[in-house]
Amino acid sequence: MHHILADDLSRLPQLLQSARDFAAREVAGLPERPVARLDEAPGPGPLPAGGAGADGALARFAERWAPGFSGSAGPRYLGFVTGGATPASVTGDWLTSAYDQNGSGAAGSWATALERETVAWLRELFGLREEHTGAFVTGATVSNTVGLAVAREWLGERLGVDVSREGAAALGPVDVLSGSPHSSIAKSLSVLGIGRDRLRRVPVLPGGREAVDVAALDAALAALDGRPAIVVANAGTVNSVDFDDLRAIAALKERYGFWLHVDAAFGGFAALSPAHAHLVDGLDAADSVCVDLHKWLNVPYDAAVQYTRRRDLQVRVFHNASPYLGPPTGEPDFLHLTPENSRRLRALPAWFSLVAYGRDGHREIVERNVALAARLGEGVAALDGLRLLAPVRLNVVCFTLADDPTEERVAALARAVTESGEAFLTPTVYDGVPGLRAAFSNWRTSGEDGERVLAALTAALAG
């Protein structure tokens, strides 16, 4: 063994203690550090020839890189839809690395059984029945890709084509219908060989809504003349957090043959709140479902789940056939269900958080975030210089300048907020108008944080 490696091995407990001490200081400082950094990062350094040991690496990281990291795990990073990491999930994440299990299959470990337990708990949390089976993947983009890959295989079943063997081209042009799809859907279609241009926008409801007009979807399906299609329903759009009427869309299946995929990346968490659960009514009727976990479950990146009722088709797509891996018998190993072969046990952070806080604790996070968004929405509406672009339906406040909201002026406002170090918001375009989004999905955001964000916006407007 290399002498530095041997030295690190002999001091492993102290090294872990140093990492713990460092992380504890950084996490404790989150509420006060600048929420985001705009200054330029250092250029890449040379590959180290001699090693510095783990202590040396920690010292160099602390000096060279840590100061430039954002406070994205903290309470006022409201860009995109950014979850933090609950204390229990960090514990689970550290242990995931310490144990370094390969979640591809049983392989002499109980790790995959733990993943199955977690997938089943989350299924219950989101109100899905047992016909839905699932797996952990890296994020909602991959979860959408897996769901749409199973959809593609289903189209093949309908058309008498074995897509996993013959290729997507054997299907001919595929119709994918959606009202306000997330950009990851087009990316998934590109990956899957279906093609970005096959995503067809169905009109949304009038009155500034982002939810699909079900009558228009009905008409679009009728126009396909019996050709099977894929419908992507959206449960929580990123700008206005609008929800398609999942029950009404599922009811169309009585008349048309289509695969219903639901992108519930963060909107799926509405199921945790009795006051908002109606928004995801009908989620269970989907053929495949995507829910992100590194957003509103507040586990570290990267974690999401995918569910489907057609595990048989999923195995056809993802089956990894090799004598050294064994055949997919009985309960298929995860390597036959997901894009990865070897995979991190990313269920463990979620398992820890669910055991630590339960359904009630996670419900409290969701409901607090929703209340904070409503309050910021009221504050923004009351400010002279700003106006809401959409009603605050759940956890996102989408707003713009009251006067002359050009892209440049809105970007300048966002920059001023970021430079204050107090908050981080990201730009968007809603209904053709440039604006900003404040998305609440962090477990530690408080009422006081909400007031600091509003104060930062007020100051940025004045400056």
Ligand X SMILES: *Cc1c(COP(=O)(O)O)cnc(C)c1O
Q: Which amino acid is at 34?
A: P
What are all long-range contacts of 25-34, with beta carbons under 8 Å and residues at least 24 apart? 26/66, 27/73, 27/90, 30/71, 30/73, 30/74, 30/75, 30/444, 31/74, 31/75, 31/76, 31/444, 31/449, 33/71, 33/74, 33/421, 34/71, 34/421
Quote the CA–CA distance of 344 and 302 in Å, as a whole number: 10
Q: Of 171 and 291, which has the nearer Cβ to ligand X?
A: 291
Quote the CA–CA distance of 336 and 407 in Å, as a whole number: 46
Query: How far apart are CB 22 and ligand X at their closest, in Å?
Result: 27
Query: How far apart are CB 320 and ligand X at their closest, in Å?
Result: 23
**Helix or strand run (H / E) with residue 263:** strand 258-263
Query: How far apart are CB 82 and ligand X at their closest, in Å?
Result: 9
Quote the CA–CA distance of 136 and 121 in Å, as a whole number: 12
**Is residue 142 a contact partner of residue 184, using CB atoms and an 8 Å limit?**
no
Query: How far apart are CB 443 and ligand X at their closest, in Å?
Result: 17
Q: Of 141 and 178, which has the nearer Cβ to ligand X?
A: 141
> In the beta sheet, which residues pair with residue 424?
77
Edge-to-edge order in the sheet of strand 433-439: 386-388, 396-401, 433-439, 426-430
Quote the CA–CA distance of 220 and 241 in Å, as a whole number: 24
CB proximity list for 276: less than 8 A, separation 6 or greater? 270, 366, 370, 394
Q: Of 163 and 366, which has the nearer Cβ to ligand X?
A: 366
Name the residues that contact ligand X, by CB under 6 A.
Answer: 81, 139-141, 182, 184, 236, 238, 263, 265-266, 292, 304
Query: How far apart are CB 439 and ligand X at their closest, in Å?
Result: 9
Q: Of 155 and 235, which has the nearer Cβ to ligand X?
A: 235
3-class DSSP state of 387: strand
Q: Of 101 and 145, which has the nearer Cβ to ligand X?
A: 145
**Pairing relation of β-strands 396-401 and 386-388?**
antiparallel
Q: Of 337 and 394, which has the nearer Cβ to ligand X?
A: 394
Query: How far apart are CB 435 and ligand X at their closest, in Å?
Result: 17
Query: How far apart are CB 141 and ligand X at their closest, in Å?
Result: 3
Quote the CA–CA distance of 112 and 131 in Å, as a whole number: 19
Q: Of 94 and 243, which has the nearer Cβ to ligand X?
A: 243
Query: How far apart are CB 326 and ligand X at their closest, in Å?
Result: 31
Q: Which amino acid is at 24?
A: A
Q: Of 386 and 396, which has the nearer Cβ to ligand X?
A: 396
